[in-house]
Amino acid sequence: MKTWMRILAGATALVIGAGAVAPVAAQQPNTQFIGITGYRVGPYGANGAAFFGGFIDYLNLVNERDGGVNGVKLSWEECETEYNNAKGVECYERLKTRAGTGPTAIHPMSTGITYALMEKAPTDKIPLITFGYGRTDATDGRVFPWVFPLMSNYWDAATGIVKFIGDKEGGDAKLKGKKIALLYHDSAYGKEPIPVLEAEATKLGFELKTIPVPHPGNEQQSQWLQIRQYKPDWVILWGWGVMTATALQTAQKTGYPREKMVGNWWAGSEIDTVAAGPAATGYYAASLNLAGKSYPVTKDVESIVYKKANKGSKAELVGTVLWNRGVAAAMFTVEAVRTAQAKFGKKPLTGEQVRWGIENLDLNAAKLKSLGFDTMLPPLKLSCEDHGGSGQVRFQQWDGKEWKSASDWMKGDTVLVRKMIEESAAKYATEKGIKAGCLPG
């Protein structure tokens, strides 16, 4: 018995060694292959499941409804990163080997993985799309030609939140002498808004107190007691994962009004508010995209992908903030391919060609409407200098059941943000010896 088990164990070990040697995936030729580095397990698995669910649902929609992009079908493979940098790199390397054209464009969906891939992308000629995360100064495309922090970055969010608070107080001038606390996840991600908020504090004359929450943030008694003692007029919540729900819950416990709390877009999904229950009611969050199912594209996904083709990922997720964000992210990739096809021809394109497509992406209001994204997203136009393309945010408020729009699309202090981005990018360029400039089309 024991011997046989031993042999079995040895054999298993050998098979694992040999099996990992020969990764071959079934690939359809002549398709635009899209590599997906996703995560559905671990502490952020719920976030990943919603985002990548929407992402894949939209890819399915393009295939089922339009027969691909100008006749070029899409194919994809998802690799589980567990939100772990090392595994993310392995996934990226694996997806790189697939198909002749490479993985099109990667959405790392993790700031850590973004950083790890940023050095590799230029050599491999694979563009990275970081939709609302990643390295903020990569918005300067002259220094970071291969990275696209699409739409708005963290500094846009931070200044946007300050603007929103100013509006609520009745104008930026009223911010003078006010107290704002920043409650942040104590990590690279959480520290991102501090410099820009400090600059805003000096400029507008409000007082800023930064309070870190150690990972994972499932106990915040002491942080909220500090807030209770400080008595800020507003609390900006820069949370991720369980931290957001706990913050809302502890705010209720310490009697801090949720109507005075503004989160960023990673602290503003149903995942956070549902977990917090009634404690979340009244809480604001900056958003990159609106929630809801009323958009034509959502209706298409429901009728074509879910009903007709029965390929939907999970019906409960449809219309949630992160699902919509996944749909939008997939749409960016698809439209970048379409833009690039106009120049390079209607065939599967390489990463280099798609990069050109992203950089020349122009999603004006009419285009968004024709795609069925009417009001979900603001118009977006990229250029070599500006790899973001919009810089706008919109605020939503949780009414206890769903996210409701609470403002129009708005911009923060774009001048300040741009100045800081260029300074930071220039510093990076000198450190790395990069000669800033646009890549030729």
Partner 1 sequence: MLYREAGQFRTSYAADQQLLPIRQDRILMAVLLAVAFVGVPLFASDYWLTALLTPFLVFALAALGLNILTGYAGQLSLGTAAFMAVGAFAAYNFQLRVPGMPILGSFVLGGLTAAVVGVAFGLPSLRIKGFYLAVATLAAQFFIPWLLVKVPWFTNNSSSGVITSQPIVILGYVFDTPGSKYLLVLAIVALMALAAKNLVRSRIGRAWMAVRDMDVAAEVIGIRIMRTKLIAFAVSSFYCGVAGALYAYAYLGSVEPDGFNLDLSFRILFMIIIGGVGSILGSFLGAAFITLLPIFLDVLLVDGALALGLNLPSGATSMVQLVVFGALIIFFLIVEPHGLARLWQIGKEKLRLWPFPY
Partner 2 sequence: MQFFFEVLIGGLLAGVMYSLVALGFVLIYKASGVFNFAQGAMVFFAALTFVGVQEKTGLPFWAVLPITLAVMVLLGILTERIVLRPLVNQPQITLFMATIGLAFFIEGLAQLIWGTEVRRLDLGIQDEPIAVMMDNFDMMVSSFDVTAAVVAGVLVAVLAVFFNKTRIGRALRAVADDHQAALAVGIPLKQIWAIVWSVAGFVALVAGLLWGARNGVQFALTFVALKALPVLILGGFESILGAIVGGLIIGAAEKLAEVYLGPMVGGGIEGWFAYMLALLFLLVRPEGLFGERRIDRV
Residues engaged in binding partner 2 (CB under 8 A): 40-43, 45-46, 49, 186, 210-216, 218-219, 221-223, 225-226, 228-229, 241-242, 245-246, 249, 252-255, 271-272, 274-277, 279, 314, 316-317
Cα distance between residue 171 and residue 266, in whole Å = 26
Cα distance between residue 292 and residue 325, in whole Å = 11
Task: Report what 271 binds from partner 1, partner 2, none; CB cut-off 5-8 Å by kind.
Answer: partner 2
Query: Which of 309, 436 has the CB closer to partner 1?
Result: 309
Query: Which of 45, 372 has the CB closer to partner 1?
Result: 45
Query: Which of 250, 289 has the CB closer to partner 2?
Result: 250
Shortest reach from residue 183's CB to partner 2, in Å: 10
- By CB neighbour count within 10 A (0-12 exposed, 13-18 middle, 19+ buried), where does 12 fall? exposed
Q: Which of 66, 71, 97, 423 binds partner 1 (CB under 8 A)?
A: 97
Q: Can residue 422 be called a binding residue for partner 1 (CB under 8 A)?
A: no
Alpha helix segments (H runs only) across 67-174: 85-96, 111-118, 120-124, 154-169
Backbone angles phi, psi at 167, to 5 degrees: -60, -45
The residue written with tokens 């997203």 in the block is: 377
Shortest reach from residue 24's CB to partner 1, in Å: 7
Q: Can residue 414 be called a binding residue for partner 1 (CB under 8 A)?
A: no
Question: Is residue 405 within 8 Å of 164, Cβ to Cβ?
Answer: no
CB atoms within 10 A of CB 440: 5
Q: Can residue 187 be called a binding residue for partner 1 (CB under 8 A)?
A: yes
Angle, CA 331 vertex, CA 384 and CA 29 arms, to 5°: 100
What is the x/- site pattern for partner 1, positions 286-325, by CB under 8 A? -------------------------x-xx-----------
Q: Which of residues 335-374 bind partner 1 (CB under 8 A)?
A: none
Task: Report what 93 binds from partner 1, partner 2, none; CB cut-off 5-8 Å by kind.
Answer: partner 1
Cα distance between residue 401 and residue 280, in whole Å = 10
Query: Which of 84, 281 has the CB closer to partner 1?
Result: 84
Which tokens belong to 287? Answer: 């958003």
Query: Which of 186, 352 has the CB closer to partner 2?
Result: 186
Cα distance between residue 44 and residue 46, in whole Å = 5
Alpha helix segments (H runs only) across 262-376: 270-276, 296-300, 321-344, 351-359, 365-371
Query: Which of 53, 239 has the CB closer to partner 1?
Result: 53
Q: Can residue 122 be called a binding residue for partner 1 (CB under 8 A)?
A: no
Shortest reach from residue 250's CB to partner 1, in Å: 21
Instruction: Please tell me what DSSP assigns to residue 412.
Output: -
Q: Which of 195, 296, 372, 379 binds partner 1 (CB under 8 A)?
A: 195
Question: Is residue 79 within 8 Å of 36, Cβ to Cβ?
Answer: yes
Q: Which of residues 21-60 bind partner 1 (CB under 8 A)?
A: 23-26, 39-41, 45, 49, 52-53, 56
Shortest reach from residue 329's CB to partner 2, in Å: 19
Q: Which of 214, 257, 437, 441 binds partner 1 (CB under 8 A)?
A: 214
| CA dist 223 → 186, 243, 355 (Å) | 12, 12, 43
Query: Which of 71, 214 has the CB closer to partner 2?
Result: 214
Helix, strand, coil share of the chain (percent; to 5): 50, 15, 35
Q: Can residue 194 be called a binding residue for partner 1 (CB under 8 A)?
A: yes
**Strands 261-263 and 410-411, bridge-based pairing:** unpaired
**Strands 410-411 and 392-398, bridge-based pairing:** antiparallel
Query: Which of 17, 440 has the CB closer to partner 1?
Result: 17
DSSP labels, 25-79: ----TTSEEEEEEE--SSTTHHHHHHHHHHHHHHHHHHHHHHSSBTTB-EEEEEE
Q: Can residue 416 be called a binding residue for partner 1 (CB under 8 A)?
A: no
Q: Which residues bind partner 1 (CB under 8 A)?
A: 2, 5-6, 8-10, 12-13, 15-17, 19-20, 23-26, 39-41, 45, 49, 52-53, 56, 77-80, 82, 84-87, 89-90, 93-94, 96-97, 111-112, 115-116, 118-120, 135, 186-189, 191-192, 194-195, 214-215, 311, 313-314, 424, 432
